Structure 1
Amino acid sequence: MNNLQDRPHEPRFYLRADAYSEPLILNWYAWPYLLAPVSCAMHFTGRHYRLMRSFVANSHIHISASKEKSLVGGDFVNCSADQVEQVQALITQLEVDYADFFDVRKSITALNALLEKQQGHSLEKLYGDIPPNLRGYVELIYDMQHHADFRLIEGLLFEGDLYKPAAQSLAFGLLSDEGERPFVLSSPRLPDPHSLHFNTAFANPTIDRLFAARTQGLTHSELRALLAEMPAQGGLDAMALFTEAAPERRGQSRSTPMRIRYLGHAGLLIETDQLCVAIDPVIACRASGGEGGAPSFADLPDRLDYICITHTHMDHMCIETLLELRHKTGQVLVPKNSGGNIADPSMKLMLKSLGFSVQEFDEMEEITVGAMRIKAIPFLGEHADLNVRSKTAWCFTFQDFTVFCGADSSCIDPVLYERIARAVGKIDLLFLGMECVGAPMSWLYGALFTKPVARAINESRRFNGADFASAQRMIDIMRPTEVAIYAMGMEPWFKYFMGTDYDVNTHQIEQSDRLLAYCSAAGIHAERLYGSRQWDLECRATPA
């Protein structure tokens, strides 16, 4: 008798659609600037430390602010009164176990002060004056106006003691009955009755098996063995994260040579017979497939040949989503880095530290895979005028159809986009973000400065994307057949990182309404994306 045939059907357990993960570093939500060693130290000592100390000293103010829905995303800690001691413990841990973070801030401050005094003469004699903890990690340089600066040697930093995978963990929770989760950027995540924290480095391959269980499922013995590999804290029962009900997997069949699916926020998925490419994927966990039909993790294909990232901001390079997709991803394509600028950490090195295969693209560089050409396109705007080179739009040409993913482009200099249009040629579908009222520079980069930034400067240099005038200029130059506006912050399931609550009178909506009307008058089909959208395209081979 065959024992395998006689064994009853063994149930499989699937990671629930409403179970969300939060990658953490020292209990704070991991976004790209916490992966790079120096910027991580600067953000912890320049922002997180300040917020935690403020909470411990004035917890009642923070708790009161956290109850106001209109203040979501504000500069306060969303922890409870009974977590004050835990936050104090985090402060102590940072001060004692991660004292080298504070040493880095002191050293960067001292190095900046030293370089400010230089007047164009040789810097070679200054290497001995570099603070010891930075020696061997920096090169002293001048720009072409003889302003002294330094360049971080990031490859060595990722090999050194300042890169701390032991500080990484992965927390899980379940969406509320209303399908919501807490805002992620201003508060540490602490083990509580409603969460489960796995003490594991992000590069741990066990994580891949955990996230693959979204669609593949695990037997009870496989699940038990997986959980045994990762120590956990918190009151949430691990089995509560799983269900025996296999997920519904929408959109797995395709009837045309090319299909484009909107993934929500700024994310797209382009599929052909030979290739599957995701651009800036940010997938929100949804209780039942999602309001508006927004794709879930289960709706994605089993293989992503490429993930293309446009820039380092966390709503485009989302560590949470990338870790969930790592098990099915071939390679991540990223823009070329400027090389050691503290405000522009290497995306390639960050993603390699997470276990990805990564390829950098220079401006206008391209690859051809089967019938698809993928080209990196420079873009302006949304980076507060800082020297950030790690940003690119992406252009995809399949047979006779060209898709231009403009990311957060702003047509500040029309001549650049005229040159791009001549190089790219006909554009059939233009994707463009219109988040035209961005936060001031200090919101993202403030902790990297070692001197206070003047208020007028800070307010002037914002993370502004395209407004109506900018988008109109781009459309007039590129003359696309169709326009899709995305990354508008309207989708409520992304509020956990956007912190926005728009209505019809919001400036961003008013500006995009004007663009929709302008395109309609010009005979260009245009729409503002929300939730779900799919293009099924009958492409034709381009004549030789």
Structure 2
Amino acid sequence: MPSLPGSPPSAPPPATARRFANTDPGVVIGNFPWYEMLWRSLRGDFKPRSAPAGGYAAFAQQWSAPVDHARLAERHDAPVVTWLGHVSMLLQVAGLNILIDPTLADFAGPLGRFGAARRVPAPLTPEQLPRIDVVLVSHNHYDHLCYATLRRLHAAGQAPRFVVPQGLGAWFVKRGMGPVTEMDWWEHTDIAPGVRVHFTPSQHWSRRSLADTNATLWGGFLLEWTRPHAAAPWRFLFPGDTGYSGDFKAIRQRLGAVDFLALPIGAYLPRDFMKPMHVNPDDAVQLMLDVQARQAMGVHWGTFMLTQEAFDHPPRDLAVALTARGIPPERVWLLRQGETRAIPLHG
């Protein structure tokens, strides 16, 4: 797993040097004709068709919690998770502070000032984050890689290590952020003694401009913490953005059952467009079963105006999917944005 130096390369490879693909070669995502995207945008495919019950202000109040800054300032050995909205989360484990896909701006788009609007205020600012050791970035879409957030984190004096997919490291180096480690699927890197991060496949795509479709990789992260005297490592999986695929049974087979799963449950309508790239709640429950997750928490919902379903539909559809399989609802936590919760350890 190559680590990129702290200065820009003299001759970065052109964006057209390589185009990445999903594990299923028949699933090609990203080459959308401009006229289809225009038609879908005019039709309203990329914003909710209705507000949540009671309106956005009531939803934000219901699904927000005050941040316990004193708790975040502590170093935790046993795992503690804080949901920061959408897919952004702070995982504190083994004495490390690990920030995942941080997107704290008011918009998911260029510079945090354009794009999909945020309707639930970010629970904290980048300057209020505790000292971050590692930032994991799953892919380059604006709702996962937010330059406005990272720029402010950097300006606040933070200098974490970044772990990113292949092809994305130069983006960080160009902006003076690092060190950076790039990874291909199934590669791993150790971020501390006894803490290993694997980069895992997902079914998705990448693009940040008109000319770089699938020029950088996408995926998820499985963190493995080897605890002293424990029978097996503790495993956390952040699958990234993904449609349902055979990748998750492969993750379970190659890396073991998952103890805690960040489960994407939103941004799934209209299904004819979103199905290859985003699981719906029913697919998400199957993903959870595929990796044999002991516990999960719902992410990728209720924050940005990205897709057709109302903000309050993912929890409702998740409840239906869990009931259909006889799975108790507490198997998937639904945290409020800003809420911190300790993750039970077993074994």
Q: TM-score, normalised by structure 2?
A: 0.64
Determine which of 388, 391, 398 is the counterpart of 2:218: 391
Following superposition, the deviation at residue 299 of structure 1 comes to 3.8
The superposition leaves residues 381-404 of structure 1 with CA deviations (integer Å, 9 ceiling, x where unpaired) of 4669x7565101001122242111
Is the Cα contact below 8 Å between 2:269 and 2:308 reproduced in 1? no
Would you say how many aligned residue pairs link Structure 1 and Structure 2? 267
Give the superposition deviation at 1:273. Answer: 5.0
- Equivalent in the alignment of 1:315: 143
Q: Distance in 2 between matches of 1:437 and 1:531?
A: 20
> What is residue 268 of structure 1 aligned with on the other side?
89
Alignment partner of 1:304: what SS? coil
> 1:485: how far off?
1.4
Structure 2 partner of 1:122: none
Aligned with 1:435 (options 266, 280, 301): 266
1:336 matched residue in structure 2: 166
For 1:459-498, what aligned pairs fall within 5 Å after superposition?
464-488=277-301, 490-491=302-303, 494-495=304-305, 498=306
More helix by share: 1
Equivalent in the alignment of 1:355: 176
CA contact (8 A) 2:68 2:340 kept: no
Matched residue of 2:241: which SS?
Answer: coil
Q: Distance in 1 between matches of 2:45 and 2:248?
A: 36
Kept in 2: contact 1:256–1:538 (CA 8 A): no
CA deviation vs aligned residue, 1:278-333 (integer Å, no higher than 9, x gap): 11011247xxxx979934335411x2121110111100011111111123132211
Residue of structure 1 in register with 2:310 after alignment: 502
Distance, in Å, in 2 between the alignment partners of 1:262 and 1:333 is 20
Change (3 A) 1:409 1:294: same
Q: Which residue of 1 aligns with 2:248?
A: 417
Match of 1:528 among 316, 334, 342: 334
Q: Per the alignment, in what secondary structure is the counterpart of residue 479 of structure 1?
A: coil
Structure 1 pair 435–265 and aligned structure 2 pair: CA distance change class (3 A):
same
Give the drift of 1:537: 4.1
RMSD, aligned α-carbons: 4.0
Q: Does structure 2 conserve the Cα–Cα contact (< 8 Å) formed by 1:334 and 1:359? A: yes
| CA apart distance, 1:367 | 1.8
Distance 1:534 1:307, change over 3 A: same
Deviation at 1:524, TM superposition (A): 6.3
- Relative distance call for 1:438 and 1:360 in structure 2 (3 A) is farther
Matches within 5 A, 1:192-231: none
Aligned residue for 1:517? 323
In structure 2, what residue type is equivalent to 1:271? Q
Identity %: 16
Give the Cα–Cα distance (whole angstroms) in 1 for the partners of residues 146 and 270 of structure 2.
Answer: 18
Question: 1: CA distance between counterparts of 2:149 and 2:334?
Answer: 23
What whole-Å deviation, never above 9, does each CA across 1:70-113 have from its counterpart, x for those lacking one? 98978xxxxxxxxxxxxxxxxxxxxxxxxxxxxxxxxxxxxxxx
User: CA separation in 1, counterparts of 2:325 and 2:103?
Assistant: 28
Match for residue 64 of structure 2?
none
Q: Distance in 1 between matches of 2:45 and 2:287?
A: 33
8 Å CA contact retained: 1:411, 1:466: yes
Q: Deviations over 1:203-237 (max 9, x none)?
A: xxxxxxxxxxxxxxxxxxxxxxxxxxxxxxxxxxx
**Looking at both structures, which has the greater relative contact order when contacts are Cα pairs under 8 Å and sequence separation is at least 6?**
2
Larger Rg: 1
**Pick from 98, 103, 106: which aligns with 1:277?**
98
Q: Distance in 2 between matches of 1:308 and 1:482?
A: 21
Whichever residue aligns with residue 407 of structure 1, its letter is G
Residue 272 (structure 1) shift: 3.2
The TM-score with structure 1 as length reference comes to 0.42
Residue 307 of structure 1 aligns to a residue in which SS? strand
SS of corresponding position for 1:270: strand
Identify the residue that residue 305 of structure 1 maps to in structure 2.
Answer: 133
Cα distance in 2, alignment partners of residues 388 and 518 from structure 1: 39
Distance 1:411 1:461 in 2: 11
Aligned residue in 2 for 1:378: 201
> For 1:388 and 1:511, how far apart are their aligned partners in 2?
34
For residues 249 and 522 of structure 1, the distance between their equivalents in structure 2, rounded to whole angstroms, comes to 31
Change (3 A) 1:435 1:354: same
Distance 1:435 1:274, change over 3 A: same
Whether the aligned pair in 1 keeps the contact of 2:77 and 2:94 (CA below 8 Å) is no
Measure, in 2, the Cα distance between the counterparts of 1:537 and 1:374.
Answer: 18
- 1:93-104 equivalence runs, <5 A: none
* Structure 2 unaligned spans of 5+: 1-12, 17-32, 48-56, 58-66, 107-118, 208-212, 228-232
Matched, 1:402 2:235: yes
